[in-house]
């Protein structure tokens, strides 16, 4: 049924909004999401599977897959708004907020998986999904900003802590990896999405402007946030590895992004107020590798 395009019909049971600004996520919906995610993981890693086998409606054609991905992107936006308090409603039952967080994470992971394959039998659909989601939804910009918020929260939580003693709880690790993986996969060989990473401005904590020593205003974009993620390698090695993959995909074939990183390389360090408070700096060596060092 999923392959024939009934994913969104089933997913009406996953939809978090009833159309009247009421939001409730149940444990049963989480189970359903996990089942769909498991099927998607199997499809993405099965070298014998084709686009028609895609659990998001592959047997019904490319447009059905794209509509399923848009549905997931829209649901992630709704969930994020409630989690971040933009459009928050009270818990419908004890623990419902936790279910919202779980649903949000599951959807980000599903989208990251859907956009991950470079298999020749599936690549065409992946390319169209990347382009469509980047241009027709706010998914990429939302995830970049979400990652920026998380990076700032982790920096504050680990203020004064030595790099080797960084601690990131399981939820934050999962969210950070899901965001970075999705950014990297949606930008793979997709110039318009690569540009969006550079063009998306990420506010500093509290919306307070940050100024360089010469007094000029500093604008933080998605590239800065991705580079900052490598500073958490001791707290989550997987995050660092995915950040390096994402940076590669965002820079690949994109001269403007490469030029921006080259300027940062010339400065030798990529600084944010949060990294400064932590006593660490992100260093880019002559080969373009990013590493974290104690601030001298």
Q: 224-271, pLDDT tens digit by residue?
A: 999 889 888 888 989 989 999 999 999 999 999 999 888 776 554 555
Q: 88-141, pLDDT tens digit by residue?
A: 667 777 888 899 999 999 999 999 999 986 766 666 667 888 999 999 999 999
| Calpha distance 279→249 (Å, rounded) | 29
The count of residues in the chain is 296
Residue 146's nearest CA partner among 76, 240, 69, 245 is 76
| Calpha distance 168→213 (Å, rounded) | 31
Residue 207: CB atoms within 10 A of its CB come to 6
Q: In what order do the strands lie in the sheet with 269-270?
A: 269-270, 280-284, 290-294
Among the ranges given (1-10, 14-23, 103-112, 230-239), the one the predictor scored with the smallest mean pLDDT: 1-10
The pTM score is 0.83
Q: What is the pLDDT of residue 274?
A: 53
Which pair of structure tokens corresponds to residue 211? 């100024």
**pLDDT at 73 > cutoff 70:** yes
Q: What is the pLDDT of residue 2?
A: 46
């Amino acid at each position: 049924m999923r392959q024939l395009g009934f994913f969104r019909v089933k997913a009406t049971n996953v939809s978090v909004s009833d159309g009247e600004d009421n939001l409730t996520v149940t444990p049963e919906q989480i189970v359903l999401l996990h089942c769909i995610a498991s099927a998607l993981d199997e499809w993405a890693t099965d070298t014998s599977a084709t686009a028609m086998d895609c659990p998001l409606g592959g047997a019904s054609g490319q447009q059905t897959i794209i509509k399923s991905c848009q549905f997931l992107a829209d649901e992630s936006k709704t969930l994020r708004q409630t989690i971040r308090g933009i459009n928050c409603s009270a818990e419908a039952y004890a623990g419902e907020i936790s279910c919202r967080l779980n649903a949000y994470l599951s959807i980000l992971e599903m989208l990251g998986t859907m956009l991950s394959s470079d298999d020749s039998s599936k690549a065409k659909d992946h390319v169209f999904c990347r382009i469509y989601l980047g241009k027709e939804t706010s998914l990429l910009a939302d995830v970049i900003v979400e990652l920026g918020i998380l990076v700032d929260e982790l920096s504050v939580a680990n203020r004064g802590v030595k790099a080797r003693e960084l601690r990131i709880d399981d939820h934050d690790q999962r969210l950070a990896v899901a965001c970075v993986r999705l950014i990297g996969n949606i930008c793979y060989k997709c110039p318009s999405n690569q540009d969006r990473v550079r063009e998306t401005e990420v506010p500093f904590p509290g919306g307070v402007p940050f100024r360089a020593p010469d007094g000029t205003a500093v604008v933080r974009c998605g590239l800065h946030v991705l580079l900052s993620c490598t500073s958490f390698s001791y707290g989550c090695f997987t995050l660092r590895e995915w950040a390096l993959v994402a940076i590669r995909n965002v820079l690949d074939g994109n001269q403007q992004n490469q030029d921006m990183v080259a300027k940062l390389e010339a400065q030798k360090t990529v600084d944010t107020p949060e990294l400064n408070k932590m006593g660490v700096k992100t260093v880019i060596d002559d080969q373009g590798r990013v590493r974290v060092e104690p601030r001298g």
